[in-house]
Amino acid sequence: MRAMVMQAFGAPETAVLRELPMPIPGPGEVLVRTRAAGVNYPDLLVVEGKYQHKPPLPFTPGKELAGEVAALGEGVTALAVGDRVMVQVEYGAFAEAVIARPEQCFRLPDAMPYADAAAMGLVYQTAWFALIDRARLQAGETVLVNGATGGVGLAAIQLVKALGGAALAGVTTMAKADAARKAGADQVIDLSGDDLRNSLRDQVYAVTEGRGVDVCIDPLGGDPFDAAMRALAWRGRMVVVGFAAGRIPVIKANYLLVKNIEVSGLQWSDYRDRTPGRMAEAQAAIFRLYGEGKLSANVTERFPLDRMAEALAVIRDRKVVGKVVLEV
């Protein structure tokens, strides 16, 4: 089988396409033939050696894929050869076949294309657990989504609307405002101003009657995080998803006390590894909302497997609005 291989941590352009032996599933494992693989910001961090979990070298990147079950290891009864599944792994998805455990596999709705399925795992699960588990979102609440036109951002906007909330889209350039509105955002918040510390709060207060937002989902960190903290309503909840803006913020605990607000973090892979049952429930709900027409996959860029470096580069350089997939 063909696979993209990193011999050492570094730029995506250093990956090489290699012919590797077809893996054989062991007891309790399944072999899945890849049809499409989702490309995410964490993949870039893994390739560069900046992720919190570093795979042993050499390795094949990629955390999610969609395809067909090709073989079953001893003892596997939950799946059958030919089943169409979406798969979540720590790494290895950018290959023509992958070994996974049954609990990492989620059966696809019959009409769901593989590219859509590969795009509706990591980012939608991240947004789901951020909103439902960490922020405890209630219908009627208002949510500010920073980095709203990235994968997690667009997923969060759609989920907020599907769950009965109001969505404010924080965008780093107003050129992306239309994409945010198309995803369902009720209002767009400009994160590109010179005085973001005050301008973000002023914009939020202007569309919330001076109240602020109940929830903020923040994958950016840096100045947008600092400014969004000031725009939280009383008992507001901030969920830290990542630090795409570069700087990891420092939080002053007295501010949490004075405003009765809370800040929590979300590490997606912990849910995958520690609570597979809850992840299965979340993915089933995501697929159901997709079937009801309330969610879309937002696939905007498609590359063949051997152009993995280009796929990661458009994410690194912020040249994409929506989700990137590799088609195998």
Please tell me the predicted confidence (pLDDT) of residue 113. 97
**Whether residues 247 and 148 fall in one domain:** yes
Listed as ranges, residues in the chain with pLDDT below 70 are none
- Asked if the structure places residue 143 within a domain, the reply is yes
**Whether residues 302 and 249 fall in one domain:** no
Convert the pLDDT of each residue in 40-97 to its tens digit.
999 999 999 998 889 999 999 999 999 999 999 999 999 999 999 999 999 999 999 9
- Asked if the structure places residue 52 within a domain, the reply is yes
Instruction: Note the Cα 225 to chain centre separation in Å.
Output: 18
Please tell me the predicted confidence (pLDDT) of residue 272. 87
Helix, strand, coil share (%) of the chain residues, nearest 5 = 35, 25, 40
- Asked if the structure places residue 138 within a domain, the reply is yes
Handedness of CA 63, 64, 67, 71 (dihedral sign): positive
CA gap 82, 70 in Å, rounded: 6
Q: What is the domain range of residue 234?
A: 123-268
Please tell me the predicted confidence (pLDDT) of residue 53. 84
Predicted TM-score of the model (pTM): 0.92
Structure tokens at 246: 């570069």
**Whether residues 130 and 262 fall in one domain:** yes
**Whether residues 77 and 98 fall in one domain:** yes
Phi, psi of 63 (to 5 degrees): -110, -10
Structure tokens at 253: 């605990």
Classified as helix, coil or strand, 48 is helix
How many distinct structural domains can be found in the chain?
A: 2
Structure tokens at 82: 């030919």
